[in-house]
Structure 1
């Protein structure tokens, strides 16, 4: 063993120890690795930082932009809603539908791309179902890795072993020759992840914090829970043909109209009231007020209560919501009544809740005077809530968690779907290489208005990108120093005289272990020729050995750095390094068992 080999082995062991200890952030550890390699001379300084320009890193960054475009246009939420409709709110049912969908997509496109695109969908599903993202993110990643085992183009290692066979004058693997083994592993993996693996996952995730309450939590905080009512204007109602101002709904009746539903369309009432904004017969009014005020108003104005259908409430909340704001000491609203504050005219929003010194107060729109330090709950259209940022006179404290689910560019959803479809077709048909295809898709998302440049830049998951870019030079150092070849040669020397089944087991374990720390493609490039030559030397059919190597290369389940797929879900799932080992190692052993059982049946030794 040379000094360079020993240095790389020591650096690898130190890196793994730091990852496992969780004493330092993983992206910081990755930057430290880059620095040490650049200083050591094991690789050149250019090679040490080459990971930041690596095509894989650039492709993942572009996919973040594509995924954000799907999120901003509402496509991700719509896909999540569909999965929720078919899977319900049960973790078991959701995973039963999610895992095969992800695996099928990964069978025909990059598993990294599939996960990057589906992260917004799964986050939307988690929020709407009340689950923690940590319960779904790791199964998403593992399903994508297994999906790569299903076809020849599912993952690069499959192509590597097929080309290696062809180069030796042997028959290469066909497009679907991987499918039977991959399907068996997918079935076993599904059963494990649904009934065992998910119970090993952390129950809480930092993605959902107490600093971002949902809409119902904010409403309860201001003691107005149960005060949203749906009222129907009857033919003889004196409210008909009047504006909310003419009817003095707030000043005389202490009621606030949030929305008007007319002929199936929601009309935003939370805008400056114009003379032609009139309430009509048969209008459905969404009104905030106490039970007593609502009852008196309905009796005196011939309105009918229409209940609270869940579908209507969901539909209303797609366009209308709330925001919590603070009245700063220099606010021009200080000392004014709620009515004099003219919140509708200033902000397009209405005050429905008031807290002073951490206590909820009943609001009288004519008499209640505002003080600095008051926090107000404003209600109106999401567009006006979005426009609150930076407005003079108020400090936006927080919006409900649902606000993130509201598409800011919903009208561009058809364009986002078209871009996604074209991208998938180009990648599957091979019309263009993956990198330029995804870059074009990301650029098209911005140019068509699916998201703006600021949103695109904010979508980049810097932690994941740094971690991937920082670990690539370490893999390069293992290759150039000879450390990787050293491990492979010694293992083959030990297993050279063993039976074909034991040899397959050793090759699987070697490939799988190496794939936890370096690129599975690089691992396959190194191990495949050894498997091929060893099989020929021992008079063993090389096909089952090469298939074993290809499958093992996709079992990168045990560490978050094993694959870009795992790294992508690290931050959204708020996982620790040990979480992957706890859930992934049993799955690796199951994949080993299935491979050793099924492969010899399809490709006899």
Structure 2
């Protein structure tokens, strides 16, 4: 083994570890691999960048645009509507027609996009036929994967394999090379699903009669997400201190971690929980969430407020002072809140006020978006203040210069009494800032003062705090302590639906950019005027702490809000709204044009006029020129994460070929399986490819295994095409786990699937794909 081979294997092993552990994003891992290959001299800089201009990569991004053109003109949705008309009532016919439709579309469109488009269609079919969606969603997703095996551009990995074949100086794979075996695989899998596989499909939701508008029954969603366990009624006393305050000002939602579903007045009228709705004495608030926090508040006072008002001089010492900084137009904080920017954690200072032009804000600063020109008044240790000295407008302030801020108007003494829910909590756990808009500036304990207390400092009974906050915020907290709670509420969420408000499920799309972010950070409620009542996260629903739950692929939101909000969500690439009638209206008049453009692309490739990359670019340009989609929509349709992943990983394949690493592994394969013949060697490589599939992205698997397959063919002195085709089919066989392919993960939450549900059908189907392709490849592509 040479040094180059060892280095190549080292880079390969590092990449596989990162892909499996998911420590870093896959596209970032690919870029790191690219750089390492150049640094170690395994590829030249030109070869390292060649992936970005590789015909296969170009064809992939152009196919994203063509796929979007078919979707936005209604070509695909029209086929979905046809499915609903001809699918019939029997489950076998439903499964066959559904899988056939998704497979046919996936042959010419991106299979993730097809699965996303058919998700609400499949759920509607399930409800129309009074079946559970879990009986149909996995077959639908599998159908989209099978479609990738029908033609060359059916899936990105096919094009990657073809690109490596062409790179060796051989003719690339033909557009219909995959079709004969792909059709055979599809038929065998459909027969298996209908005869055997359907027995392993779970039935986890009770079918409900569908409404004429095809809206999911609210009671069905209530049962699925287990909402009844978290429902309660909050009753405001007639003399409540919250009367006249809006829901937003009451802080019931933020302070108590509750979702307010509706407000019932004394006269029996029910109001939507608008943030600007003013509360009245006697209001009954239907809420969702854990009640232990409010029970602690009600059980005994959290704190008492003293009449004496502290002076600002008490907040300063020889180590702690005040300063001003200004937010410039190039500042990293523009458009962010203090919370999302992590201002306190990053700089170790408190923000006491924000001067915006002629207006000074001294309370509720945590969730206020910062703008260019804002002047922040900050308090902290002088060392921490000095760390901000490079900020525009930085200057240390004296007491005499604070007059305009009127800080004393917002300062109060509060005491922690016996039995307070705050006793024993850290300042972070108490959430006085995020929940109530109150900032703790000083803690006085048994004669000792703790100016600028750390977030992990615990409060104790008898503590006296100097806090900054609006008097009405403290009044609100006193009002919360007098709320009455009624548990064990029996309530049907259907009663809350009317012409404008409804319950709808929303799924994070496979293309989402929101993974790792929280609802609070993306300001979901403010953007869409829609409340998230529960999140199906992993394999169970979460109904509390939703605002701070990091989102992940496949998360499903149970939302409540107006139609306009869901229409806005449906336009966003980050979400899939599981309701047909709020989807963006397709450009139906352009459907024939889009269909003809796609047929023309296929035709010119078949007759050999243009290579597939150029034909796909031409088709993409025609989609825009003819108005099937706009240039902005074309840009948005491309999954750039996938493009970067493929383009940056292709040099690894070149390195394996040029360093001799692929030949080294090929020689091992030939020595091990050679005595059993070419058929056994092909079977061994295909099995290895299939086993790797669940752990790394399919295109990466193609990049790794294709050079090995081609080198094996060269060692044997046989045609490389059987090995290229075998690896391509195995790379596309992503059936075994939900994380094997985004289409599988997409249906996990709406179907209520568990990991084992994929194993039960995915493993037998993957084995069938292996056997069928292994038997037919030598017949159609002789050694």
Structure 1 length-normalised TM? 0.54
Question: Residue 423 of structure 1 aligns with which residue?
Answer: 601
Deviation of 1:521 after TM superposition, in Å, equals 8.5
Gaps of 5+ in 2: 127-132, 205-212, 222-245, 250-258, 279-495, 502-526, 530-561, 568-576
Cα distance 1:551–1:150, how it changes in 2: closer, same or farther (>3 A)? farther
Q: For residue 676 of structure 2, give the secondary structure of its aligned residue in structure 1.
A: coil
Compared CA separation, residues 470 and 98, structure 1 to 2 (3 A): farther
Tell me what 2:79 maps to.
Answer: 79
Is 1:128 paired with 2:131?
A: no
User: Are the structure 2 counterparts of residues 567 and 441 from structure 1 closer, same or farther at C-alpha, using a change threshold of 3 Å?
Assistant: farther
Match of 1:437 in 2: 615
Return the alpha-carbon distance in structure 2 between the equivalents of residues 149 and 423 of structure 1: 13
Task: Kindly report the root-mean-square deviation, in angstroms, between the aligned alpha carbons of the 2 structures.
Answer: 5.7
Deviation sequence 1:510-529 (CA, Å, 0-9, x none):
67678966575985576357
**CA separation of 1:439 and 1:601: change in aligned 2, threshold 3 A:** closer
Matches within 5 A, 1:331-410: 358-359=262-263, 372-373=276-277, 397-399=565-567, 401-410=579-588
User: Does the CA-based 8 Å contact 2:710-2:724 persist in structure 1?
Assistant: yes
| 2:7 match | 7
Provide the secondary structure at the position in 2 that maps to 1:432.
coil
For residues 758 and 704 of structure 2, what CA distance do their matches in structure 1 show? Answer: 22
Selected match of 2:730 from 546, 550, 555: 555
Q: 1:142 aligns to what?
A: 145
Structure 2 CA distance for aligned equivalents of residues 165 and 371 of structure 1: 66
Partner residue, 1:189: 189
Report how far residue 571 of structure 1 moved.
7.0
The 1-side partners of 2:108 and 2:661 are apart by 27
1:16-415 equivalences under 5 Å are: 16-88=16-88, 92-100=92-100, 111=107, 113=109, 115=111, 118-119=114-115, 121-123=117-119, 125-129=121-125, 131=133, 135-136=138-139, 138-148=141-151, 183-192=183-192, 215=215, 358-359=262-263, 372-373=276-277, 397-399=565-567, 401-415=579-593
User: How far, CA to CA, are the matches of 2:73 and 2:742 in structure 1?
Assistant: 22
1:198 Cα deviation (Å)? 7.7
* Structure richer in helix, relative to its length: 1
The separation in 2 between residues aligned to 1:20 and 1:200, in whole angstroms, is 28
How far does residue 505 in structure 1 lie from its aligned partner after superposition?
3.4
Q: CA deviation at 1:595?
A: 4.9
Report the CA distance between 1:77 and its aligned residue: 1.4
Structure 2 matches for 1:531-546, cutoff 5 A? Answer: 531=713, 534=716
Residues 512 and 553 of structure 1 are in contact (CA less than 8 Å); yes or no, is this contact kept in structure 2? Answer: no
Q: How far 1:599 moved relative to its partner?
A: 6.3
The answer on whether the counterparts of 2:74 and 2:588 sit within 8 Å (CA) in structure 1 is: yes
Contact (CA 8 Å) 1:150, 1:179: kept in 2 or not? no
For the pair 1:487 / 2:483, whether they are aligned, the reply is no
Q: Deviations over 1:340-378 (max 9, x none)?
A: xxxxxxxxxxxxxxx99723679999x99x992489977
Residue 448 of structure 1 corresponds to 626
Paired with 1:199 and 1:593, the residues of 2 have a C-alpha distance of 22
* Cα distance in 2 between the residues matched to 1:589 and 1:176: 23
- Please tell me whether Structure 1 or Structure 2 has the larger radius of gyration of its CA atoms: 2
CA distance in structure 2 between the partners assigned to 1:118 and 1:40 by the alignment = 41
SS at match of 1:358: strand
Tell me the alpha carbon deviations over residues 283-303 of structure 1, each in whole angstroms, 9 at most, x when there is no partner.
Answer: xxxxxxxxxxxxxxxxxxxxx
- Quickly say closer, same or farther: Cα 1:473–1:413, change in 2 above 3 A: same
Matches within 5 A, 1:441-590: 441-499=619-677, 501-506=679-684, 508-509=686-687, 518=700, 520=702, 527-528=709-710, 530-531=712-713, 534=716, 547=722, 550-557=725-732, 569=743, 572=746, 586-590=764-768
What is the match of residue 504 of structure 2? none
Aligned length: 438
Q: Distance in 2 between matches of 1:162 and 1:45?
A: 21
Q: 1 or 2 for the larger relative contact order (CA 8 Å, sep ≥6)?
A: 1
Q: Secondary structure at the match of 1:51?
A: helix
Superposed displacement of residue 101, structure 1:
5.4
Deviations 1:19-49 (A, max 9, x none): 3334544344334434444544433445444
SS at match of 1:147: coil
Counterpart CA distance in 1 for 2:91 and 2:168 is 42
Partners of 2:641 and 2:744 in 1: CA distance: 9
Q: Distance in 2 between matches of 1:48 and 1:90?
A: 54
TM-score (norm 2): 0.44
Question: Structure 2 CA distance, aligned partners of 1:412 and 1:72?
Answer: 9
Instruction: Supply the distance in 1 between the matched residues of 2:656 and 2:203 (Cα, whole angstroms).
Output: 36
SS at match of 1:555: helix
